[in-house]
Amino acid sequence: MTDVAGFNTRIIEEFRRNHGKVGGPFEGAPLLLLHTIGARSGRHRINPMMYLPDGGAYLVFASKAGADTNPDWYWNLRARPEARIEVGDRELDVRAAELRGAERDEKYRVQAEHYPGFAEYQRKTDRVIPVIALVPAISG
């Protein structure tokens, strides 16, 4: 198990034990678990990540800590935009939509204002870090 995989596993376990709350680097931050299907592998994946509430949507940021490539989960959502999230004790089916232009810039600015690490991530890379809206599916 890689260090990242081990870290994620511990965060996921703590998240589920504590109704969506975790300590460490995510303490006090809004956190969700994103379930995707691997674009190449077809395997179920779970990634813990911070989000920004936006009306009824959950905005997530493909920062990968400022790396020059997008995270795998971003490509998974591009291949299959239907996904599932865990927020607190709730599970929701969502559809991913990438924000663009001024809307993307404004939402990223808000996230970086609340969590300055995101401003640093953008400074570290030449790519524009994608912002993805996870919009809950309408049940009917």
Span 3-24, pLDDT tens digits? 777 888 999 999 999 999 999 8
Question: CA 83, CA 113: separation in Å to the nearest integer?
Answer: 28
Closest by CA to 29, choosing from 43, 39, 14, 40, is: 14
Question: CA 46, CA 12: separation in Å to the nearest integer?
Answer: 8
In this predicted model, what pLDDT tens digit does every residue of 22-77 receive, in sequence order? 998 889 999 999 999 999 999 999 999 999 999 999 999 999 999 999 999 999 99
Identify whether the C-beta of residue 80 lies closer than 8 Å to the C-beta of residue 36: yes
Query: What element of type H or E holds 8?
Result: helix 3-17
Dihedral of CA atoms 22, 69, 62, 18 in degrees, nearest 10, equals -20
- Angle between helix 101-114 and 117-124 (nearest 10): 130
Identify whether the C-beta of residue 86 lies closer than 8 Å to the C-beta of residue 68: no
- In the chain, what are the domains? 3-136 (2.30.110.10)
In this predicted model, what pLDDT tens digit does every residue of 70-117 receive, in sequence order? 999 999 999 999 999 999 999 999 999 999 999 999 999 999 999 999
Residues counted in the chain: 140
pTM for this entry:
0.93
